[in-house]
Amino acid sequence: MHERARHFSTQTWTGGVIGLGYVGLPLAVTMARTGLSAVGYDVSTERVESLRRGRSPIDDVTDSELQWALEHGLEVTADPARLATTDAIFICVPSPLGRNREPDLSHIRAAAATVTDVARPGMLVSLESTTYPGTTEDLIVPAVAAAGLTVDVDVFVAFSPERVSPGDKPTTGDIPKVVGGVTALSTEVAAAAYSRIVPDVHRVSSTRVAEMAKLLENTYRAVNIGLVNEMAQLAAELDIDIWEVVDAAATKPFGFQPFYPGPGVGGHCIPLDPQFLSWRAREANFATRFIDLAEQVNTKMPDYTASRIADALNERGLAVYGTPILGVGIAYKPNVADDRESASLAVLEALAKRGARISVLDPVVGAARIESRGYPVIEPDGPYDGFALAALLTDHDAIDLERLAAEVPVVFDARGAYRRAGLARDNVVSL
């Protein structure tokens, strides 16, 4: 075993994390929990100050878990120079898309510049941000070279995608890690380091394999969601219950994984990640037809959902224009407070454009955020009367489905929540 791999396997070392968001903060806290030390660096001084006060900005790390970590080896800082004291740096900064849906690498570039400033002999540098195949070689390898360091002699460079899904189990620390180094030795050293943080490490032969594996995982989800969303539209045409169809197909013990229809895809992973592959494919003059088709179907779902809601009102002799509608759930998925890229918001916007009077109930996202989106807030325990229809767009556990159907004349269920809860109600219309 190489001396650095042995060091990471057997010694108590310090990990540095760049970017303390949904990915970086759980990683830093997990390191503290496993008995390692961690230096978490974030460019946002506001975020660092609130973390230091023991306030976690994300659902997956509770305030008490953060406070425990701060007392047991986690240092949080806005000073990048503190990273120079670490043995390994994990880059967890955002990787959004630009205006023309091309990768916006500005955060990864900035983190790479930080690496150039702080890299020291013996360090491991691992990129975790989701990105196109080739990024680690294109941006991180030159960043360590600019520090005067040579891969496999002074430093080790790898890519390891984060696969956590906020609000869902399992969480960081329980999910196997795919690890690919820029060389076989870098893979060995990175795998040794990750073995101290997660229970299972799957080594691959290059950073590009690891980068593309992450994109395949999320493209698989986007394509299958697109497929079932198209099936939902067909089933509605044929007057067949799509939810019953999926449940029936899911009884097959092999060869079928159920995906469920919904008002569209949201969040900052499923709608975005396949676009990294599409972009890279265009550069190689290759057409990614599945990705493009899934995107077309999924991005049309909010409008389709709004049309189905209009139909439900029409069947009761009501127009969308001027009708009070209660939008229920604006987060992009159940039980998270995150409404970025949420399809629910796109549905409400489509209804508002047609003149509906929208109010919003979301016990998880909370009143301040709903108001910032420009909608009047209905408190969870407040009265639901006066609405012609409730559009259940994100089915948080905290939503009282029985009460909703009892108090609002029609519920449009875009998530199959009533069916899953075994609640049969005559006034519930499903997508």
Positions annotated as catalytic residues are 269
Residue 36, amino acid: L
Residue 281, interface with ligand NAD (CB under 6 A)?
Answer: no
- Give min distance, CB of 286 to ligand NAD, in A: 23
Q: Smallest distance from the beta carbon of 24 to ligand NAD, in angstroms?
A: 6
Residue 209 beta carbon to ligand NAD: minimum distance, rounded to whole angstroms:
17
Q: Quick one: residue 25, left, alpha or beta (phi over 0 = left, psi -120 to 50 = alpha)? A: alpha
Minimum Å distance from CB 25 to ligand NAD?
A: 8
How far is the C-alpha of 277 from the C-alpha of 219, rounded, in Å?
Answer: 9
Q: Does 19 bind ligand NAD (CB under 6 A)?
A: yes
**Measured distance CA(27)–CA(42) in Å, rounded:** 13
> 102-161: which residues touch ligand NAD (CB under 6 A)?
107, 110-111, 114, 129-130
Binding of residue 43 to ligand NAD (CB under 6 A): yes
Q: Whole-angstrom Cα distance, residue 240 to residue 261?
A: 14
Q: Which stretch binds ligand NAD (CB under 6 A): 41-49, 146-154, 277-285, 306-314?
A: 41-49
Question: Does 226 participate in binding ligand NAD (rule CB under 6 A)?
Answer: no
Question: If binding is defined by CB under 6 A, does position 24 make contact with ligand NAD?
Answer: yes
Kindly state the smallest distance separating residue 408's Cβ from ligand NAD, in Å.
Answer: 32
CA distance 240 to 412: 17
Using Cβ positions, the residue closest to ligand NAD within the complex turns out to be 21
Place of tokens 């997660």: 198
Q: Give dist(CA 204, CA 194) in Å, integer.
A: 13
Which strand (E) or helix (H) includes residue 25?
helix 24-33
Asked whether position 22 contacts ligand NAD by CB under 6 A, the answer is yes
Can residue 269 be called a binding residue for ligand NAD (CB under 6 A)? yes
Q: Which of 236, 266, 260 is nearest to 344 (CA)?
A: 266
Binding of ligand NAD by 333 (CB under 6 A) = no
In this complex, which beta carbon is closest to ligand NAD, that of residue 59 or of residue 154?
59
Closest CA to 305 of 349, 347, 268: 347
For 397, the 3-state DSSP assignment is coil
Q: Which is nearer to ligand NAD, 217 or 247 (CB)?
A: 217
Distances in whole angstroms, Cα of residue 336 to Cα of each of 47, 174, 396, 397, 423: 19, 19, 8, 10, 23
Note the residues at the interface with ligand NAD (CB under 6 A).
Answer: 18-24, 41-44, 47, 92-95, 107, 110-111, 114, 129-130, 162, 164, 166, 268-269
